[in-house]
Amino acid sequence: GENVEQHPSTLSVQEGDSAVIKCTYSDSASNYFPWYKQELGKRPQLIIDIRSNVGEKKDQRIAVTLNKTAKHFSLHITETQPEDSAVYFCAVESSNYQLIWGAGTKLIIKP
Amino acid sequence: ETGVTQTPRHLVMGMTNKKSLKCEQHLGHNAMYWYKQSAKKPLELMFVYNFKEQTENNSVPSRFSPECPNSSHLFLHLHTLQPEDSALYLCASSQGAGLRPNQPQHFGDGTRLSIL
């Protein structure tokens, strides 16, 4: 079945700098790749997703890139702000349309 | 956002107790999910319901018993739980699971469960 690995597990960046989180997956047939943000004590929320027919998608300071050949996709956050501090989860849609989740990355924004 | 509501938010129970978690969605979705979230581990999918029918049971112990009376409500009945069952239990919904691709999931705030 699908296997998703997410790195790093913790990422600390200076406010204003960029943050990059990467996920790799195993099933080359996967076509949908969402990213969720979970703030402390709150629910996971979808922040951006990408489908396999595009290589990059951007929404203001957030972007996701997809490399289907290498089977990895990354979340990029530019000009980081304190409110970006959270745990970020990647997910991959499996062949039966279920989401397989990464273990999460705790992003810490240092003032 | 109040699309998916879970109650209670916190629950402390002994190993011999019986309790139930409740989830309700107001998004008109057809699929509902139960996840277990433990520290530093991926979200663990427990159960999936499509149009009230259970379509996934990921080897979950029988001490967890789901119930889906309609597409808007989902319950998780708990009995004789173990200390390792302490975790955050998240409910989610989507347009359809296993039927249509590329369907984002919408989560509730979860129930923080502690087993004494």
State the Cα–Cα distance between residues B77 and A44, nearest whole angstrom.
Answer: 23
Q: Which candidate, B11, B13, B55, places its Cα nearest to that of B30?
A: B55
Residue B69 near residue B25 (C-beta atoms within 8 A): no
Question: According to the model, what pLDDT value does residue B1 have?
Answer: 54
The amino acid present at B101, given as its one-letter code, is P
For residue A104, list chain B residues with Cβ-Cβ distance below 8 A. Answer: 40, 42
- Cβ of B101 under 8 Å from any chain A Cβ? yes
**pLDDT more than 70, % of chain A:** 100
Residue B41: pLDDT band (50, 70, 90) is confident
- B90 at interface of A, judged by CB pairs closer than 8 A: yes
**Residue B97's pLDDT band (boundaries 50, 70, 90)?**
low
Angle B111-B115-B116 from CA coordinates, rounded to 5°: 145
Please give the residue of chain A at the shortest CA–CA distance from B100: A97
Instruction: Tell how many helices (H) and how many strands (E) occur in chain A.
Output: 0, 11
Q: Determine contact: B105 vs chain A, CB below 8 A.
A: yes
Mutate to test the interface with A, among B1, B9, B99, B107 (most CBs of A within 10 A): B107
Q: How far is B83 from chain A (nearest CA, A)?
A: 21
**pLDDT tens digits, chain A, 111 residues: what are they?**
788 999 999 999 999 999 999 999 999 888 899 999 999 888 999 999 999 888 999 999 999 999 999 999 999 999 999 999 999 999 998 877 788 999 999 999 999
Closest CA to A68 of A97, A98, A104, A32: A32
CA distance A79 to chain B (A): 26
**Chain A residues whose beta carbon lies within 8 Å of the beta carbon of residue B101:** 31-32, 93, 97
Residues of chain A above pLDDT 90, percent:
79
Q: Do A99 and B48 make contact, defined as CB atoms within 8 angstroms?
A: no
